[in-house]
Amino acid sequence: MTGLLLCMLPAFSPDLSGHARRALEKPGVQVWTCSQVNGIDELGVQIGNERIDAGTVPREAGVKASRLAGGTLFETDRTGRICFADDLRMPEDPDVFA
C-alpha cells in the first residue's frame, strides 16, 4: 500500500502526531510533512519541483476555527479553537458551554 499525506494533525500534541505517522508508515504509506502543494489534478500532485503521479488523488481541506473565537476572553488552541473542559464548560466561566 502506498499513499501520501501532507499534514499530520497539527492541532494535536507531538506525541499523537507521531503515533498517527507511525501507524500510517507501518503499512507503507509515505508521509510528507511541511510540504507545499503547488498543484493537484486528476493524475497526481505537484509538490515543489517534484511530481507524484497517482491513480487516485484524495484531497482534504483544512478546517479553520470560526472568527467568533478570535479575540475572545477564552483560551484558544494553536488553531484558534476555543478550549473547553470535558463537560463542554468553559474553564473561565462554568455557565458558558462550547
Confirm if 78 and 28 have CB atoms less than 8 A apart: no
69-94 pLDDT per residue, tens: 556 677 777 777 777 888 888 777 77
Q: Is the pTM of this model over 0.75?
A: no
- The grid cell for 41 is 489534478
pLDDT in tens, 37-81: 888 888 888 888 889 888 777 665 555 555 665 566 777 777 777
Predicted local confidence at residue 59, as pLDDT: 61
Judged against a pLDDT cut of 70, whether residue 95 lies above it is answered with: yes
| DSSP per-residue string spanning 37-60 | EEEEETTEEEETTEEEE-S-----
Is the pLDDT assigned to residue 36 strictly greater than 60?
Answer: yes
Q: How many CB atoms lie within 10 A of CB 45?
A: 20
Give yes or no for residue 1 having a pLDDT over 50.
no
In whole angstroms, what is the distance from residue 23 CA to residue 29 CA? 9
